[in-house]
Amino acid sequence: MNSDPDSDKVLNIRDLQVSFRSIAGTTRAVNGVSLDVRSGEIVGLVGESGCGKSVTIRSIVGLVPSPPALFEAGEIWLRTRRGMTETLALHKNMKALRQIRGRDVSMIFQEPMRSVHPMMTIGKQITEGILEHEVVDPAEAYDRTVEMLDLVGLPNPAAQMNRYAHELSGGMRQRALIALALVCHPQLLLADEPTTALDVTIQAQILELIRDLRERMSMSVLLITHNMGVVANLADRISVMYLGKIMETGTVEEIFKEPAHPYTQGLLASMPSLFSQPKTHLQSLRGVVPELAMVPKGCVFADRCPYVMPKCDETPPVVELRVDHSVACWLYADGGETQGSEDAATAEPSLSSEDTSGDSQKAVGVIPVLGTEPGSDASQEQLADSYTAQLQIENVALHYPILRGLLRRQVGTVRAVDGVDLTIRRGETLGLVGESGCGKTSVGRLVARLVEPTAGRIRFGADGGLEEITHISQKEMKRVRRAMGMVFQDPLSSLNARMNIRNIVGEPLMLHQVAKGRAVDDRVGELLEMVGLRAAHQSRFPHAFSGGQRQRIAIARALATEPSFLVADEPVSALDVSVQAQILNLLLTLQQQLSLSMLFIAHDIAVVRHVSDRIAVMYLGKIVELGEAREICVRPVHPYTEALLASIPLPMPGLETLREMPKGDLPDPANPPTGCRFHTRCPYRQPICEQEEPPLRQIAGNADHFGACHFQDELHLEGVEEIEEIYAPAAAAEGK
Amino acid sequence: MRTYILQRFLQMIIVMVVVMLVSFIIVELPPGDFLTTLREQLTDQNVDPKVIDSTVEMYRARYGLGENWFIRFGKWAWSLMKGDMGYSMQHNRPASELMGERLSLTIWISIATLIFMFVVSVPIGMLSAIKQYSAWDHSFTFLALLGVSVPSFITALVFLLLSVTLLGATTVAGLFSPEYVTAEWSWAKFVDMLKHVWIILFIVGLGDTASTIRVMRARMLDTLGEPYIDTARMKGLSGAKIYFRHALRVAINPIISSIGLRFPQIISGSTIVAIVLTLPLIGPLLLEALLGEDVYLACSILVVLTLALVIGNFLADLALAWLDPRIRFEN
């Protein structure tokens, strides 16, 4: 490795070590990281949260407050307008550091919603940056800002100059922040999870923008993300980071085609992709990222590694597998160089046979998709049974009035849910997918009667036939709720921090008088073990558990009264990739064991496809497409479904989607477009779409597939073919 | 924006009307009416019966006594608006005369205290946040704790004691030196007042200043942790620009919105201090009126103080809307 700060490199981090000192002791967050970014290159730094990615890139620009941080060793060489500069040494020299920030290197952050100053106009915030670094008159700075806003694709840039943050959507704010970062033409852009907080369609737009600007402004990008799909489509090279160390570095093709490090393999396998076998266990990494203070000696990944061996007690060497592909793992260190990649290839299947989650879950076989093999008597019976509905909602609506002015007059209506029909069959998982603000969470809350429907009918069958629950009293509803469990998105705020686990999980039991006294303890213990926790942990409080464990507790609570129906509202979106896989596996297992019906709500169509039998796609309060899960992903009939599928970054480099991305943001739900609500963003729109609203109707030749597009029978839309044989080692291994 | 101002203004009027109604009911509550009391008082003073009759008649007409409550309220409210605060039975003087100077002094002292509080606490709180856990921060944390926990009358007594024993002062109490107490307002009297007033500001404002330091520090710390401050740092801005241009305007919001609420606190807080230091403020007068069941005086003071409070709140709302585009946007 050429360690000279040569001219090709824009950034060269060498053996960076950063520790944090606290009362509890000193923990090392970054432990010998070396990383290069070359001219014009996009480098992805990937890993789960708490692995030191942010600390690493914030160290480059001195954004890590010290104390508590201690920069113990290493060098960070950055190409600036004055030549290569070592920036760690500049941390003490604020003036020099300030000259670099914004001019030679810029940064965009994870939360565009909170990264724009709320009380300053966009224009002022951007021109401020120009005026800080260059001697220009305000008029020129103004013109350059407008030009930049135009370049990042904000509509009507001159008008944006006088707008405030709250007047822009998340995607627009991230564009404005990119304009702010690039207005002084830095050579390097640091992007810290730039799309994590955004909707998938907006994420696709922003990634496209970054790719485009890299060419136009000939800059390099260092991108942090936990989403392998994002880097696959954007990065040229990838470094995988775990607990302060770089585990593997390689070109994007090498990393995805021949992931060498067990951690990289695990990350790839954990992701439900549009190619994985639905309703099967994902090969999640076992356990969770440990606290920094508990990092294992030697190889930091040893305690979660399926190939762990005695030698792993020592720090593994960095092995060069090929030019531009190196890995820090003992698997590749012994004997010859050739052993490495072969070893990995043969080793892969054994990863799947491993008891992966460490929570005594057994692999679940593939469930026959409903209606696909109507052969034997048994399946006939199963079929008939499956078709009895557990939940039926008809034309349900939820409207909120918008009150304005002195007299709180109603000036409009937010149609959160606007006439939705859905049926969930017994034992079935129905996935509900859509962008944020489309009303999917409201549907979940309506079903559980947490909000009062404005119109429509909700019928639910606890154990017998359907019974109407649309307007029954809360007292009667209590009886119904016994058969209904609910899991919420944020596992931290949905558990009362002042209650211990026994009371959290046991509360429904006591409320419904299922158990009393000691019996509650026993049942809570059973439930905790069922979700992969220890029964002995009953007396602990929620803060003692990690995010994934908290979500397990929430699931245990939802299942306490042995419900037959579960509403899961974004149960995994707040979790890390490996933990997400564990929770999805748990939900799949429990659904099988307890023959639950489930309404699974999520924004990620890949996740939804993985767990659902059928999928309903929602847009602005309406169902636009409904059908069997794989069918919808392979042969979507609604342009919005196609757009959602196209927006999912595929973990497959070089397989860029050529389809047109949906343009713009989700329209205001208080003022939905006339006719077909999607027409403002639809690439296939015709005059009729602006006038007539298409109803949800059956697709010709498929009784189980519905769409709400005027041209659903004529349009040929592209789904995602199941091309597991082309690539995706995880999916391939699983498919065997 | 116009709707917002109008809305706040109407709310202000409604609050005023409600407060006046409540005051009116309190005035009306005691058995018998004011005229009976007045007649008795005047008779006791051996006033000529004709004069008594005419005086009583004058009040009857002015306050519409004997008519229904709605008209009585209207007349009372109208006379209040004209500045006629009614008649103090305790002092046998019109209430407005009693309140006059005390009221304006009180309001000026309150405003001065607010300004003192602002000027002292905002920079200290800001610096404490910027230099978190420094010696500066620790010492002001300690002082603020002291300021919050020591009641203001104790501070006042300590000041009295210190100035008498250490400085040998004879005139520390009061707002003026003895020779000016009854004098007409003049430049010299004003200068004399300034010499005395800072102690009062300090004593009355100490508690609020201390708690505002804490609020400012906490808000500033929160704000400095916001992502948009990182955005500002990444532009290459200097510390001063980040703190003043970006952080301060966000951090100061709750302090501005609390001004309206500080106002009555200052008035009630200053009452005790005013009693200890024998200051001619409105607080002691109100207390006296309440103790002596001097309903007209008490209610008039309450109404006037409410008016001051409501106007203070209104101004704070306007200031907030001017500062924060989000508030303008919501309406």
Average pLDDT, chain A: 83
Calpha distance A76→A56 (Å, rounded): 10
Calpha distance A397→A417 (Å, rounded): 5
Q: Is residue B238 scored above 80 in pLDDT?
A: yes
Looking at the domain that runs over A9-226, which CATH code has it been given?
Answer: 3.40.50.300
Cross-chain residue pair B236–A98, CB shorter than 8 Å? yes
Least confident range of A90-99, A593-602, A661-670, A678-687: A661-670
Cross-chain residue pair A94–B323, CB shorter than 8 Å? no
Q: Can you give the pLDDT at residue B298?
A: 82
Q: Which of A61, A114, A117 to mutate to test the interface with B (most CBs of B within 10 A)?
A: A117
Calpha distance A663→A643 (Å, rounded): 10
Q: Does A128 touch chain B (CB under 8 A)?
A: yes
Would you say B118 and B319 are in contact if contact means Cβ atoms under 8 Å apart? no
DSSP β-bridge partners for residue A318: A328
Q: Which of B10, B228, B236 lies at the smallest CB-CB distance from A102? A: B236
Q: How large is the average pLDDT for residues A93-122? A: 90
Calpha distance A228→A226 (Å, rounded): 6
Q: Does B227 touch chain A (CB under 8 A)?
A: yes
Distance from CA of B95 to the nearest CA of A (A): 37
Q: Which of B228, B322, B324, B330 to mutate to test the interface with A (most CBs of A within 10 A)?
A: B228
At residue B254, what are phi and psi to the nearest 5 degrees?
Answer: -65, -25
Q: Which of A102, A111, A166 lies at the smallest CB-CB distance from B329? A: A166
Q: β-strands A318-322, A325-328: how paired?
A: antiparallel
Distant-in-sequence, close-in-space partners of A663: CB < 8 Å, separation ≥ 6: A681
Cβ contacts (< 8 Å) between A94 and chain B: which residues? 238-239
Distance from CA of B208 to the nearest CA of A (A): 27
Q: Over the stretch B91-141, which tens digit does the pLDDT of each residue have? A: 777 878 888 778 888 888 888 888 888 899 999 999 999 988 889 999 999
Calpha distance A681→A660 (Å, rounded): 10
Q: Over the stretch B61-104, which tens digit does the pLDDT of each residue have? A: 776 666 777 777 887 788 877 877 777 777 777 878 888 778 88
Burial code of A252-262, b = ≥16 C-beta within 10 A, e = fewer?
bebbbebbbbb
Q: Over the stretch A356-399, which tens digit does the pLDDT of each residue have? A: 333 333 334 333 334 334 344 444 444 444 458 889 999 999 99
Q: Does A117 touch chain B (CB under 8 A)?
A: yes
Q: What is the DSSP string of A169-221?
A: -HHHHHHHHHHHHHTT--SEEEEESTTTTS-HHHHHHHHHHHHHHHHHTT-EE
Cross-chain residue pair A101–B233, CB shorter than 8 Å? yes
Calpha distance A531→A220 (Å, rounded): 45
Cross-chain residue pair B231–A117, CB shorter than 8 Å? yes
Q: Can you give the pLDDT at residue A3?
A: 44
Name which of A700, A620, A606 is nearest A650 in CA terms: A606
Question: Omega before A563 cis (within 30°)?
Answer: no
Q: Is residue B37 scored above 60 in pLDDT?
A: yes
Q: Can you give the pLDDT at residue B272?
A: 83
Q: Over the stretch A321-335, which tens digit does the pLDDT of each residue have? A: 888 899 998 888 864
Cβ contacts (< 8 Å) between B235 and chain A: which residues? 101-102, 128-129, 132, 180
Q: What is the DSSP string of B170-208?
A: S--SSSS-GGGTTSPP-HHHHHHHHHHHHHHHHHHHHHH
Calpha distance A528→A555 (Å, rounded): 9
Cross-chain residue pair B234–A101, CB shorter than 8 Å? yes
Q: Can you give the pLDDT at residue A123?
A: 93
Calpha distance A182→A168 (Å, rounded): 19
DSSP β-bridge partners for residue A423: A392
**pLDDT-derived band at B174, boundaries 50, 70, 90:** low
Domain spans in chain A, listed from the N-terminal domain onward: 9-226, 258-362+728-733
Neighbours of A495 (CB within 10 A): 22
Q: Which of B7, B231, B236 lies at the smallest CB-CB distance from A99? A: B236
Token duo for residue A487: 């899991």
Q: Can you give the pLDDT at residue A381?
A: 46
Q: Which of B5, B230, B235, B326 to mutate to test the interface with A (most CBs of A within 10 A)?
A: B235
Calpha distance A564→A485 (Å, rounded): 8
Q: Which residue of B has its CA nearest to A404?
A: B331
DSSP β-bridge partners for residue A459: A392, A468
Cross-chain residue pair B236–A61, CB shorter than 8 Å? no
What is the 3-state secondary structure of B90-138? CCCEEHHHHHHHHHHHHHHHHHHHHHHHHHHHHHHHHHHHHCCCCHHHH
Name which of A127, A129, A71 is nearest A105 in CA terms: A129
Calpha distance A665→A231 (Å, rounded): 23
At residue B30, what are phi and psi to the nearest 5 degrees?
Answer: -60, 145
Cross-chain residue pair A101–B231, CB shorter than 8 Å? no
Give kind and range of the element (H or E) at residue A44: strand A42-46
Q: Which of B232, B239, B249 lies at the smallest CB-CB distance from A119? A: B249
Name which of A549, A645, A557 is nearest A274 in CA terms: A645
Cβ contacts (< 8 Å) between A177 and chain B: which residues? 231
Q: Does A181 touch chain B (CB under 8 A)?
A: yes
At residue B84, what are phi and psi to the nearest 5 degrees?
Answer: -90, 110
Burial of residue B81 (CB within 10 Å: 0-12, 13-18, 19+) is: exposed
Distance from CA of B248 to the nearest CA of A (A): 11
pTM to 2 decimal places: 0.80
> HSE (CB half, 13 Å, CA atoms) of A4?
3
Average pLDDT, chain B: 82
Cβ contacts (< 8 Å) between A116 and chain B: which residues? 228, 231
**pLDDT-derived band at A161, boundaries 50, 70, 90:** very high
Please, what are the domains in chain B? 95-166+197-323 (1.10.3720.10)
The sign of the CA dihedral A36, A41, A42, A44 is negative
Cβ contacts (< 8 Å) between B325 and chain A: which residues? 118-119, 164, 166
